[in-house]
């Protein structure tokens, strides 16, 4: 069995690659940071004796995505599970103050990048009449919060695309799952706040957020249901979070 995971250089994607490898799947890992991909490849091969292929590309760049994914041949081109995980939030601003470059980065990564990858991988699944696409959405795809405007819009788009893909691919025997996590402690906030570690740390202070391992576990569980079962949509939250507006911190009333 073979799984392709986008955004495997950090956080949810990195641990997801590990969980699939631990369960004897070969994996294709992608991201822009080649050194991290090399480190992960080495560790997965040593620990689990699986085959690991690296594809280093910027998911926003359609030509790079096409060149990388079209380089897959033979058994590497028979992808059973595609985990569309690469994504980010960039900035946190009221709409009237938003940085248009941030908006474009989020739209290009979270929506267009996911589409570029899917457009190349889905036809092979259709041809083989089997496959599973797992899109990493978010609670931000179900609710909207102050200053989250464009990030939330991209994750609403992921949710709509998951629904659309599921309908279009139904007759081809391909499963489509939308995974929607609440707060997960990864590099997400460091990226959102552009390297401001103090601000990123504050996001998780006084609470137990989800870990990347919690989400990876949920992704793997969805991918391993019996053939007649599909998990359409899985909302996974830290126990201290009821929604984007309801979060209990230890130092709060
Ligand atoms: P991380 O920042 O830890 O990981 C993000 C991954 O996405 C990295 O591997 C990064 O790789 C990759 N990525 C980002 N931009 C690009 C790009 N232009 N080209 C290729 N790869 C890219 O964050 P998370 O693990 O938390 O995020 C993973 C997914 O989970 C995202 O879609 C996020 O929106 C979603 N999510 C996160 C939540 C959270 O609270 N953390 C909650 C709900 C959903 P590299 O930089 O090497 O390119
Ligand atoms: C990430 C979760 O609530 O920070 O998708 O938007 S949130």
Give me ligand 2 centre to Cα 139, in Å.
Answer: 6
Q: Is residue 253 part of a domain?
A: no
Q: How many structural domains comprise the chain? A: 1
Q: Is residue 169 part of a domain?
A: yes
Residues 54-80 pLDDT 10s: 999 999 999 999 999 999 999 999 999
For the CA of 244, the nearest atom of ligand 2: 3
**CATH code for the domain in which residue 196 is found:** 3.40.50.720
Domain range holding 123?
2-247
Q: Is 138 in the pocket of ligand 2 (CB under 6 A)?
A: yes
Q: Is the pLDDT of residue 253 over 80?
A: no
Residues 190-227 pLDDT 10s: 999 999 999 999 999 999 999 999 999 999 999 999 99
Catalytic residues: 151
Which is it for the CA torsion 146, 151, 157, 161, positive or negative?
negative
What is the model's pLDDT at position 3? 98
- pTM of this structure: 0.98
Q: What is the mean pLDDT of residues 181-186?
A: 98
For the CA of 182, the nearest atom of ligand 1: 42
Q: Is residue 142 part of a domain?
A: yes
The pLDDT > 70 percentage for the chain reads 99
Q: Is residue 252 part of a domain?
A: no
Q: Is residue 236 part of a domain?
A: yes
């Amino acid at each position: 069995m073979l799984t392709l995971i986008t955004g495997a250089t950090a956080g949810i994607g990195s641990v997801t690659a590990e969980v699939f490898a631990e369960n004897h799947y070969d994996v294709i890992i992608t991201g822009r940071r080649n050194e991290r991909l090399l480190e992960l490849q080495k560790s997965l091969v040593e620990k689990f004796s699986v085959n690991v292929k690296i594809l280093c590309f910027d998911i926003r760049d359609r030509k790079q995505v096409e060149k990388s994914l079209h380089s897959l041949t033979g058994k590497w081109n028979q992808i059973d599970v595609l985990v569309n995980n690469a994504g980010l939030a960039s900035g946190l601003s009221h709409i009237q103050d938003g940085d248009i470059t941030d908006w474009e980065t989020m739209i290009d990564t979270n929506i267009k990048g996911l589409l570029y990858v899917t457009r190349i991988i889905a036809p092979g699944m259709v041809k083989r009449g089997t496959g599973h696409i797992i899109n990493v959405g978010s609670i931000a795809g179900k609710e909207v919060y102050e200053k989250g405007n464009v990030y939330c819009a991209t994750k609403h788009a992921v949710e709509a695309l998951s629904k659309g893909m599921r309908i279009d691919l139904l007759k081809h025997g391909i499963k489509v799952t939308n995974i929607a996590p609440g707060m997960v402690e990864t590099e997400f906030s460091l990226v959102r706040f552009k390297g401001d570690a103090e601000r990123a740390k504050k996001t998780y202070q006084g609470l137990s957020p989800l870990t990347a391992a919690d989400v990876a576990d949920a992704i793997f569980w969805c991918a391993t249901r019996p053939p007649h079962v599909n998990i359409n949509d899985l909302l996974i939250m830290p126990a201290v979070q009821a929604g984007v507006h309801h979060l209990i911190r230890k130092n709060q009333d």
